[in-house]
Amino acid sequence: AYSKDFKIADFTSNDAIKSTETKEDGEYKISSVKAGNYYLIFQKEGYYDTVQTCLVANTESEVTNPTVILTSHDEETEKGSVSGRIIDSVTGSALKGMTVRIRDGQNNITGDLAADEILTDADGKYKFGDLKPGIYTVQIVDLRDQEQRYISTYFNVYIEAGKESSDNGTGVSPV
């Protein structure tokens, strides 16, 4: 086992709520965590970040996890993909032609060009493939030339090696 740093962050913030280092045997414990949904972000220099979700149901609890596997940047890794469906949040109708962008990193909606950009199909579906493992931001923007327009939104996804992160859709609100 080796020592690794990780942060526990909530779903809406880049700021770590708590952080710790593992013991020599790889064990860790974070005490006094308030009830809620969290991302556990495991990081070590030279390795891909690994993310797990965590639900703390009690008013205050501790967070532990038996096994986390980190993949070295030096290892040949299978790439993953993400797919989903974009709908009108009021009517539930599929939205064709919405621009969907994918960007490296969490909550990344500005700055450099997106890693890739596609349009939703007639069923409101999109899919990005050939993605290295890690955290990405999926951004939905209405660039269509139509009378009914929608407010832009985004969400974060975690891509695992060789797996498809599916059902990553969202409803968007009309302007």
Cα dist from 16 to 11, 44, 123, 134, 140, whole Å: 11, 16, 37, 17, 26
- DSSP string covering 65-124, please? -S-----BTTS----EEEEEEEEETTT--B-TT-EEEEEESTT--SSSPPSEEEE--TTS
User: 3-class SS at 17?
Assistant: coil
CB distance 152 to 139 below 8 Å: yes
pLDDT one-digit tens code per residue, 39-62: 777 788 888 777 776 777 776 676
Q: For residue 127, which of 96, 164, 162, 159 has the smallest C-alpha distance?
A: 164
**Is residue 3 very low, low, confident or very high in pLDDT (cuts 50, 70, 90)?**
very low
Instruction: Check residues 157 and 126 and name the one with the higher pLDDT.
Output: 126
In degrees, to the nearest 5, what angle opens at C-alpha 77 toward C-alphas 49 and 79?
85
Q: For residue 120, which of 98, 152, 144, 140 has the smallest C-alpha distance?
A: 98
Sign of dihedral through CA atoms 31, 67, 133, 125? negative
User: Per-residue pLDDT averaged across 159-168, rounded?
Assistant: 86
Distance of CA 77 to the CA centre of its chain: 19
pLDDT one-digit tens code per residue, 62-73: 676 656 767 777
pLDDT one-digit tens code per residue, 17-37: 778 888 887 788 888 878 777
User: Per-residue pLDDT averaged across 78-97, rounded?
Assistant: 93
pLDDT one-digit tens code per residue, 130-144: 998 888 899 999 999
Question: What pLDDT sits at residue 41?
Answer: 78
**Is residue 7 very low, low, confident or very high in pLDDT (cuts 50, 70, 90)?**
low
User: Per-residue pLDDT averaged across 136-153, rounded?
Assistant: 92
